Amino acid sequence: MSVLLRRATGAIGRPSVWLGTILVLDAAIAVTGIFVGHSSGLLGLLAAGPLLACARGNGRVTALVAAYAIALCAIAAAITGTTVAGYRLFMVIGTGVVAVIVAVIRGRRESALIRINDQVQRAILRPLPAESGGIAFACHYQSATKQALVGGDLYDLALTARGPRLIIGDVKGKGLEAVGRCAAVLAIFRELAFAELDLVQLAEAMDARLAPDLELEDFVTVILAEFAPGEVRLVNCGHHPPALLASGAAELQFMAPDRPEPPLGLQPRPARQDVTLKPGDRLLFYTDGLVEARDRAGRFFGLDAAALAEPDLDAAVRRVVALLLEHAGDKLADDVLLILSEPVM
């Protein structure tokens, strides 16, 4: 939601290009008006600069463009020396003032909406605790669109009587529709995570609740994880398998299920995996934005075991993200969610 609003307030991807285009356009109009002196009515078109600026820029940017347009018009009017040119100058001044007022009012209103939407989205994806139920966590969520907080990836943690239960998933689609589905999945998880004793039954109950509200081709890939002393229990419904870095190991192990199952919404019948998780072992959960990121040559990103072995979890996650951005050239094609977990000694 916030990405749509921020684009409208002037937080655009290439503001220098947009502003430069406006300045060049006004300069071209002024030069043309000077050379075609008898048609000095062209100078009135300098008002286009402030009007274009207020459509995407804030009040300060619009004011600068308006001052630039007024200065150009004044110079052109002085050179042509016609009465009509002077009239055009007053028209550009008036238009510039109106454009600045419009930009300021729009910016204030949309900034308020952005703050509200940001709070709503943070409520959808609550921050993970640094430690819960004997498990330490580090998390990083990066939207493919820089201005957005939430996309199609989801996660949550519930501290139940059977231990911490984690969900990580990815809904089909992007934008507002994907955010709405994320909210629905998390609401169901938060309701059922404490009631269902068995992790497989939890997955099946979530599928039964979600299926009636999903379209024919909609689905949600998820992993449900339940942490217990010395192990983690996994139920995988169509999601990328988590990566395990055992203490002292040099290579990652991917915890793929013996029998792949479809995502939620497609009637999965998963089986539970029990994975040994000792102090010093690290288990990385992630979404497809990590392993499907490509470089300019089209090569996929490869997880680095050494990066996950950084001294603390937060440093390890930051290192993986840095390597990912370096690989993808700072241009992510999909949202990226990483959750790194480790038993607390």
User: How many CB atoms neighbour CB 254 within 10 A?
Assistant: 12
User: Which pLDDT tens digit goes with each residue over 121-140?
Assistant: 666 778 899 999 999 999 99
Average predicted confidence (pLDDT) for the chain = 84
Q: Which of 85 and 184 is assigned the larger pLDDT?
A: 184
Q: Which of 130 and 35 is assigned the larger pLDDT?
A: 130
The confidence score (pLDDT) of residue 24 equals: 85
pLDDT at 245 over 60: yes
Q: How far apart are CA 338 and CA 288, in angstroms?
A: 10
Q: How far apart are CA 332 and CA 122, in angstroms?
A: 21
User: How many CB atoms neighbour CB 200 within 10 A?
Assistant: 16
pLDDT at 303 over 80: yes
pLDDT at 11 over 50: no
Q: How far apart are CA 319 and CA 313, in angstroms?
A: 10
What are the residue boundaries of the structural domains of the chain, listed by start? 2-121, 128-343
The confidence score (pLDDT) of residue 177 equals: 67
What is the CATH code of the structural domain delimited by 128-343?
Answer: 3.60.40.10
pLDDT at 87 over 90: no
The confidence score (pLDDT) of residue 342 equals: 96
Q: Looking at 19-23, 213-217, 266-270, which range is the least confident one?
A: 213-217
Do the bridges between strand 153-160 and strand 135-142 make them parallel or antiparallel, or are there none, so unpaired? unpaired
* Contact present, 198 and 173 (Cβ < 8 Å): no
Q: In sequence order, what E strands does 76-219 have?
A: 131-132, 135-142, 153-160, 163-171
Q: What is the pTM of this model?
A: 0.70
Q: Residue 2 — pLDDT band, cuts 50, 70, 90?
A: very low
The confidence score (pLDDT) of residue 269 equals: 94
The predicted model gives 264-274 an average pLDDT of 93
Q: Which of 180 and 339 is assigned the larger pLDDT?
A: 339
Dihedral of alpha carbons 315, 321, 327, 329, sign: negative
pLDDT at 204 over 60: yes
Q: Looking at 41-45, 149-153, 234-238, which range is the least confident one?
A: 149-153
C-alpha distance from residue 76 to each of 29, 34, 85, 178, 235 (Å)? 10, 6, 8, 53, 73
